[in-house]
Amino acid sequence: MQGRAALASYATTRTLAAPRTFRQSSRVQDLRNTKRNLILVLLLGVGLLVWQSLDRDKLVVYCAHDAVFAEAILRDFEKQTGIPVVVKFDTEATKSLGLAEQIIREAAHPRCDVFWNNELLGTLDLAARGLLDSHKGTGWLRIPAQFRDTDGCWTGFAARLRVIIQRNDRPELDDAWLLTGGLTRFAMAKPLYGTTLTHYTVLWHEWGAARLQQWHADTRRRGLREVPGNAQSKDTVASGACDAAFTDTDDFFEAKDEGKPVTMRPAQLESGQTICIPNTVAIIRNAPHAENARKLADFLLSAKTELALARSKSRQIPLGPVEESQLPQEVRDLLPHAARGYPLTGLLPARNECLAWLKREYLK
């Protein structure tokens, strides 16, 4: 009897002790988990601090110009000044508009210091919203008045022309034929973005909304081939898929350098004016690195940079004074056409009206 009582007492003791042991083990495991989580949080925090310390002194540039050409210019700036640069590029399809919209979203806490846009109208929109800072440095002074903001919020440089690219083995198109009918194997980028939006804005301002909308509808009905960007527009002609297309001079020269059987001529209005579209540089208001941003702006607006872009494969057209003998002949040939460029600085209202209509057409 005594043995059975002792055995029962032992079993009871073990039964009562087990929950305490389990609770102690659970608390130990919780402490271990908490410790592990704290270590993870600490490591993440240290990583973030290291990342911020590495990038906090870097100049942030949003760039809509082609990376293959812009990178060389920006690395040259780094080499000359010792100022490190971080660059954010955009896609071919949404160039300029995508970056401009990001600057608008970040207005309360800017990340971008310098906006290198590949066109003007999106930059005008940012200036109208009060998102650009004034800078009238050596670069601003060098550029002619028609290509710069009077308040110093933006400055143009290194332009391109809108052109019609054609196959060499096709009959030459004249502007009257192009604009009034017969467009059967013709291509262009969707006009929601970039320089094609500028092209449509000029037509909206020059023709009026009704005529442009009718031309657009007629052209699409006749089989216009719409592609994501100017590079693809050029490719349709270079490959023979289309007879002609709207694109920019830099895209034409790319096809020519590849040995494609293409030719080009400037797209002209009925007045004989061309569509000459400058790059623009602007400093973002409340930019984190404003002093270095001003240095980059003056660097981009220098004769050295314009000559470098003119000699690059993109053959950009200088807007400020340069020694013309240092320009490639192909660029010198474009200078008279650029001088007949349609004034763009007053087109922001037309651009906004035209863009609103295009969004209704394409983003239904």
Cα of 217 vs its chain's centroid, Å: 28
Cα of 143 vs its chain's centroid, Å: 22
Q: Which residues contact 270 (CB under 8 A, 6 or more apart)?
A: 175, 206
For 215-252, write each residue's pLDDT tens digit.
Answer: 999 999 988 999 999 999 999 999 999 999 999 999 99
| Residue 72 and residue 167 share a domain | no
CA–CA dist 314, 250 (Å, integer): 4
The DSSP letter of residue 344 is: -
Residue in 225, 347, 349 with CA at minimum distance from that of residue 275: 347
CA–CA dist 361, 267 (Å, integer): 24
- Percent of the chain exceeding pLDDT 90 equals 74
* DSSP per-residue letters across 322-333: --GGGS-HHHHH
CA–CA dist 221, 243 (Å, integer): 17
Q: Is residue 358 part of a domain?
A: no
Does residue 163 register a pLDDT over 60? yes
Read off the tokens for 336: 């008279």
0.85 cut: is pTM over it? no
For 268-294, write each residue's pLDDT tens digit.
Answer: 999 999 999 999 999 999 999 999 999
pLDDT, position 179: 59
For 88-138, write each residue's pLDDT tens digit.
Answer: 998 654 555 789 999 999 999 999 999 999 999 999 999 999 999 999 999
Looking at residues 146-170, what average pLDDT do you find?
95
| Residue 97 and residue 66 share a domain | yes
Residue in 98, 116, 90, 66 with CA at minimum distance from that of residue 231: 66
For 69-79, write each residue's pLDDT tens digit.
Answer: 999 999 999 99
| Residue 259 and residue 210 share a domain | yes
| Residue 234 and residue 202 share a domain | yes
Residue in 205, 180, 202 with CA at minimum distance from that of residue 191: 202
Mean pLDDT, rounded, of the chain: 87
For 245-275, write each residue's pLDDT tens digit.
Answer: 999 999 999 999 999 999 999 999 999 999 9
pLDDT, position 181: 54
pLDDT, position 7: 43
Read off the tokens for 133: 């800072």
CA–CA dist 268, 341 (Å, integer): 9
CA–CA dist 238, 167 (Å, integer): 7
Which residue's structure tokens are 């651009």? 351
Read off the tokens for 103: 């600057």
Cα of 17 vs its chain's centroid, Å: 70
| Residue 132 and residue 219 share a domain | no
The DSSP letter of residue 10 is: H
Domain boundaries, position 134: 55-159+276-337
262 touches 237 (CB < 8 A) = yes
Q: Which residues contact 36 (CB under 8 A, 6 or more apart)?
A: none
Residue 264, H or E segment: strand 262-266
Which residue's structure tokens are 């657009």? 216
| Residue 140 and residue 123 share a domain | yes
CA–CA dist 333, 253 (Å, integer): 13
Q: Is residue 245 part of a domain?
A: yes
Q: How many domains does the chain have?
A: 2
Provide the Cα torsion 321, 324, 326, 327; round to 10°: 100
| Residue 167 and residue 153 share a domain | no
Q: Is residue 219 part of a domain?
A: yes
* DSSP per-residue letters across 36-74: HHHHHHHHHHHHHHHHHHHHTTSEEEEE-S-HHHHHHHH
266, 285, 304 — which closes off a domain?
A: 266
Q: Which amino acid is present at 257? A: D
Geometric angle at alpha carbon 63, from 61 and 68, rounded to 5°: 115
266, 284, 314 — which closes off a domain?
A: 266
| Residue 236 and residue 172 share a domain | yes
Does residue 9 register a pLDDT over 60? no
| Residue 152 and residue 285 share a domain | yes
Looking up residue 123, the CATH number of its domain turns out to be 3.40.190.10
pLDDT, position 175: 62
Q: Is residue 61 part of a domain?
A: yes
pLDDT, position 36: 65
